[in-house]
Amino acid sequence: MPYWSLGYPDAETSLRVIEAIARAGADMIELGVPFSDPLADGPVIQRANQIALEHGITVSRCIEIAARARAAGIVAPFLTMGYLNPVIAYGEARYVTDWQRAGADGLIVPDLPPEECQTLKGECDARRMALVQFAAPTSTDERIRLAALHATGFIYIVSVAGVTGARDKLAEGLRDYVLRVKSLAGDTPVVVGFGISKPEHVREVGQFADGVIVASALIRAAGDAPDPAQAAFEFVQALKYWER
């Protein structure tokens, strides 16, 4: 599940990148909605967000890019990753409705705790949209069960106690941590993100998780390339090769 910030480095290029990611074989695509204070993100995604915002990206323009991607024939599920402040400013019902009409399959809202998700979850449920919940290395068993209770789509496992960013090595004890979450999550799939940066990471984590998210490493590899779409295609294709 590759991630790309919509509007980075500009709207048209981000559309071409999403199309390239799909052609490369992404099973799902995480569409980032840029925000000025992305508290869960490290410097690579922060920079991408800031550049997109400086180029005039908004929630409405993000939705437009996603709709154009669907119109171009992309069938891979879209999960939109955006922070709560823009959701509230846009209007929760309108936000879910407009994303659903654009072809999105679910929402990822990293700063929305499960105790406060009922309104947004109700809007998502009414439109058959997933609302992803999170588990962190510091999560207690009780907290993981709460996330599983409210999660639709999957549980997003944060692999490290920190922000997003490519790392050379996987977190120590990641396999045991993921298996603990799976044992408490019932039938809800678990997908691992944060720090996954290499094809061999994808291959290893794929042996014990239901999915893998690659974000900062892709942004770093393709964002400043002469042809970001081609660079993204090659990067994701390499991940798919190792997955097999």
Q: Which residue has the tokens 């074989």?
A: 25
Catalytic residue among 10, 37, 41, 142: 41
pTM more than 0.85 = yes
Q: Which residue has the higher pLDDT, 241 or 75?
A: 75
CA distance 191 to 178: 9
Active site residue 142: no
- pLDDT tens track for 68-105: 999 999 999 999 999 999 999 999 999 999 999 999 99
CA distance 101 to 67: 8
Average pLDDT, the chain: 92
Q: Is 180 exposed, middle or buried (0-12, 13-18, 19+ CB in 10 A)?
A: middle
pLDDT at 198 over 90: no
Nearest Cα neighbor of 81 from 20, 136, 40 is 40
pLDDT classification of 169: cutoffs 50, 70, 90: low
Other C-beta atoms within 10 Å of 10: how many?
A: 14
Active site residue 168: no
CA distance 26 to 40: 23
Structure confidence at residue 162 (pLDDT):
52
Catalytic residue among 12, 19, 27, 30: 30
Structure confidence at residue 241 (pLDDT):
64
Structure confidence at residue 114 (pLDDT):
94
pLDDT at 221 over 50: yes
Contact 219, 14 (CB under 8 A): no
pLDDT classification of 196: cutoffs 50, 70, 90: confident
Tell me what the mean pLDDT of segment 218-228 comes to: 95
The architecture in CATH of the region 3-243 reads: Alpha-Beta Barrel (3.20)
- pLDDT tens track for 1-33: 999 999 999 999 999 999 999 999 999 999 999
The answer, yes or no, to whether the previous bond of 38 is cis (omega within 30 of 0) is: no
CA distance 212 to 51: 26
